[in-house]
C-alpha cells in the first residue's frame, strides 16, 4: 500500500493469495515462503512455532520498511 497509494490493488493480491492457498490446500502453486499452516490435527508443533516466529519477524520488517517509505513521502 505504501508503494501504490491505492488500497485496492494490495488487498486484491492478498485475497488472491489466500484464495489460491485455501483452494489448493497449501499446494506448491507458489514455491516461495508459505505463510499458512494446513495441519489437520492443529497441534502445536515445532514447525508451527517456527512458522509463527518467521511471520512475526517478516511482519515487523515490512512494517518498518512501510514506515520509512511513508515518512519520506511528501503529500
Whole-number pLDDT of residue 19: 82
Question: Structure pTM?
Answer: 0.53
The sign one gets for the Cα dihedral 30, 34, 40, 45 is positive
Q: What is the pLDDT of residues 3-35, one digit of tens each?
A: 667 788 888 888 887 787 777 766 666 666 666
Picking from 58, 62, 43, the residue whose alpha carbon sits closest to that of residue 3 is: 62
Alpha-carbon distances of 64 from 18, 19, 58, rounded to whole Å:
23, 27, 10
Taking CA atoms, 52 is separated from 1, 2, 32, 39, 73, in Å, by 23, 24, 16, 14, 31
- Residue 74 pLDDT > 80, yes or no? no
Amino acid at each position: 500500500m505504501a508503494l501504490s497509494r491505492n488500497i485496492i490493488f494490495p488487498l486484491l493480491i492478498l485475497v488472491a493469495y489466500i484464495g489460491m492457498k485455501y483452494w489448493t490446500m497449501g499446494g506448491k502453486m507458489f514455491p516461495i515462503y508459505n505463510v499458512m499452516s494446513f495441519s489437520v490435527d492443529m497441534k502445536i508443533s515445532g514447525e508451527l512455532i517456527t512458522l509463527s516466529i518467521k511471520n512475526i519477524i517478516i511482519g515487523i520488517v515490512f512494517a518498518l520498511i512501510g514506515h520509512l517509505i511513508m515518512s519520506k513521502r511528501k503529500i
